[in-house]
Amino acid sequence: MPSLLSPALRLAPLAALLAASAAAAQSPAASRITQVKVYPGSATVERVAQVAAGSRSIRFDCLPAGLDPQNLQLSSDDASVQIGEASVQTGPRSLSAACAASPLDERIRALEDQKAALAAQADALGYVTGYLQGLGGDGERRQAAPGAAALAATAEALRRTGEEALLRRHQLARGQADIDRQLQPLLAERRRAQGDGDAKVSSVTVTLHAPREARLRLAYQVAGPGWTPAYRAALDSATGQVRIERQALVAQATGEDWRGVKLVLATGQPRRGTAGRTPPPWQVGLQPPPSAAKEEARLRRAMSAPAAAPVAMAQADTAAPLFDASVFQGSFATEFAVPQPIDVPSGGQRVAMTLERREAAAQLAVRISPREEAAGYLVAEFDAPEGVWPEGALQLWRDGTFAGTGRWTAPANADGPARMQLSFGRDELVRVQAEPERDSRGSGGFVGSRAERRVQRAYVVENRHRTPMAVQVLEAAPVSVDDEVKVRSQFSPQPAERDWNRQPGIAMWRAELAPGRSARFTAEHTIAYPKDAQLSGR
């Protein structure tokens, strides 16, 4: 029996099948960035796209320019998905409809429509005010004069109508100005996100076979992003607790915004070499005659001259680094996972985020160097936190008040637990007085063959707090670096440490002062040296 369907209808299923096959062969992926691992000077970006069942290939659009196909990593959460080769194409952003569009377009169009509606109302009111002005015009627009009884009512109606129209036009102008203020940052953000119209973007096309719907992950490396550590220490002087906040500053200018991504910060530096240098062979022999030696040296220089670097390599790192990566030198590779999703726009802006917070019980003391400055500074000493804490900028807060800035530096390895010492600013309630120094010279030894210098110092420290305070007073005693120079120091009271912080000659007195009490510390240093010699140092 012949088919009753028309030829067009009989061909429709075949056309639909061909269209579905073509769509399955290659389709742009609506991918999103799920995780970024940032190193000092580079980053690994991971994108995820949903693959439809029966797909033969998929395309990731609007990726940063300069992707290396060898560095691409592809994987799927479904073992049945077979992944083939991947190719990278680079072209101007303006020629890609997907890359030229912006997520802000819908908001911008809505505001532009509101502005157009206000402009239409303003134009309509312009017709009204024009008509009212024409009532007193010449020619055909002149209206017949009303009677004496209706003149007052007509004048009042015209006044009210004109006043309302002009006031409404003013309000519409204000509304248009408000919309312009909302549009300006959106337009600026869209220009920043899209960048230069001639900027390059990459697309990655992946061939695959997906029997069923699955997710495909694409990871690629980009150069330029970076991060640096920062710290915040807050002291509660009443309880002696120090709250340490580990922070990070992240910035990137890759050309793609990181919106709501899982961020992992790593201290490793994959762009560095992976192997150390080895010593060259050491060859010795007899020196050839002068003429032969010159020729041999010339050949050796020619053979050892470095080859010219390729142009592409020379242009790879022309941009200034966003951060100094030297703060990570000497630290083992460590990773920090940011607990919440993070937005990092592409543009070089530094985004601050908190990694973790810790509490530490500190021992408080007022540290004084009276010969350098007649003032005391509140110092908190506590056990250094475990793990890798690279050097970074430090903000210091005391009792809710900003005390100043400093530098977080991990303590050097020492016997026992490592201890941190942070200074939280000047303590105005500890009074320091340095008495005038006495410096005398004389002679001694056999028949006056040696000279002596005697230095006497005294300091008074008073606690004006309402609570007891621990004080630490530092004194630099002379240290001889010559066998002919002999030094003898006497202290009252005896210092708790003679070589404080492993610094020779730096003595430290420790004392616990009750409220309103004071203490006096004295030091006498005698330096003996040959009479005809001249002492160096202060």
pLDDT in 10s for each residue of the chain, 538 residues? 444 334 443 434 434 333 444 444 445 668 899 999 998 889 999 999 999 999 999 999 888 888 888 889 999 989 999 999 999 988 887 666 667 665 566 777 788 888 888 888 878 777 777 776 666 555 455 555 555 556 677 767 767 777 788 888 888 888 888 888 887 877 776 676 666 556 788 899 999 999 999 999 999 999 889 998 899 999 999 999 999 998 899 998 888 889 899 999 888 767 666 666 777 788 776 666 666 556 666 656 655 544 443 333 333 344 555 665 555 555 556 788 888 888 998 878 888 888 888 999 999 999 999 999 999 999 999 998 887 788 889 999 999 999 999 999 877 655 556 889 999 999 999 999 999 999 998 776 554 678 999 999 999 999 999 999 999 999 999 999 988 999 999 999 999 999 998 899 999 999 999 999 999 999 999 999 988 888 887 6
Same domain, 415 and 451: no
Coil, strand or helix at 514 = coil
Determine the straight-line distance between the first and last CA of the chain, rounded to whole angstroms: 120
* 31 and 108 share one domain: yes
Are 360 and 253 members of one domain?
Answer: yes
C-alpha 353/C-alpha 351 separation (Å) is 7
User: Any idea what DSSP says for residue 202?
Assistant: E
User: How far, in Å, CA of 464 to CA of 468, rounded?
Assistant: 9
Same domain, 113 and 197: yes
- Strand segments, DSSP code E, in 67-143 are 73-76, 82-92
Any domain includes 290 = no
406 close to 394: Cβ distance less than 8 angstroms? yes
Number of domains in the chain: 3
530 φ/ψ angles, rounded to the nearest 5 degrees: -55, 140
94: DSSP letter: G
Decide: 48 and 215 in contact? Cβ < 8 Å: yes
Say which residues have a Cβ less than 8 Å from residue 399's Cβ, sequence separation at least 6: 235, 236, 237, 238
Residue 98 CA to residue 108 CA, distance in Å, equals 17
Placement of tokens 């010159």 in the chain: 294
Q: Is 537 helix (H, G, I), strand (E, B) or coil?
A: coil
Residue 331 has a pLDDT of: 56
Residue among 206, 217, 205, 202 nearest 255 (CA): 202
* Neighbour count for residue 54 (Cβ, 10 Å): 15
Domain finish residue from 399, 427, 455: 427
Sorted by sequence, the CB contacts under 8 Å of residue 241 that are 6+ apart come out as 235, 359, 360, 361, 362
Q: Are residues 421 and 438 in the same domain?
A: no
Q: Are 519 and 423 in a shared domain?
A: no
Q: Are 461 and 519 in contact (CB under 8 A)?
A: yes
Q: Is residue 102 part of a domain?
A: yes
Q: Tell me the C-alpha distance between 89 and 98, whole Å.
A: 15
Quick check: 353 and 343 in contact, CB under 8 A? no
Q: Do 378 and 423 touch, CB atoms closer than 8 A?
A: yes
| Residue 11 forms part of a structural domain | no
- Residue 145 has a pLDDT of 52
Q: Are 26 and 169 in a shared domain?
A: yes
| Any domain includes 307 | no
Q: Are residues 209 and 237 in the same domain?
A: no
Residue 359 shares a structural domain with residue 494? no
Within this chain, do residues 336 and 386 fall inside the same structural domain, yes or no?
Answer: yes
Domain boundary residue among 223, 254, 279?
223
Confirm whether 467 is domain-assigned: yes
CA distance 468 to 237: 12
Q: Is 279 within a domain?
A: no
CB of 521 closer than 8 Å to CB of 475: yes
| Cβ-contact 421, 397 below 8 angstroms | no
**Do 131 and 93 belong together in one domain?**
yes
- For residue 250, what are the contacts with CB-CB under 8 A and spacing of at least 6? 38, 225, 226, 227, 263, 265, 342, 344, 350, 351, 353
Note down the domain range covering 205: 22-37+54-143+154-223
312 found inside a domain: no
Q: Are 132 and 165 in contact (CB under 8 A)?
A: yes
Smallest CA-to-CA distance from 374 within 470, 461, 471 is with 461
On whether the CB atoms of residues 491 and 523 are closer than 8 A, the answer is yes
Residue 487 contacts residue 480 (beta carbons within 8 Å): yes
pLDDT of residue 135: 63
| Domain closes at, from 427, 443, 468 | 427
Q: Residue 84, class by beta-carbon neighbours within 10 Å (0-12 exposed, 13-18 middle, 19+ buried)?
A: exposed
Here the tokens at position 252 are 């990137």
The reply to whether 408 falls in a domain is yes
- Is residue 411 located within the same domain as residue 454? no
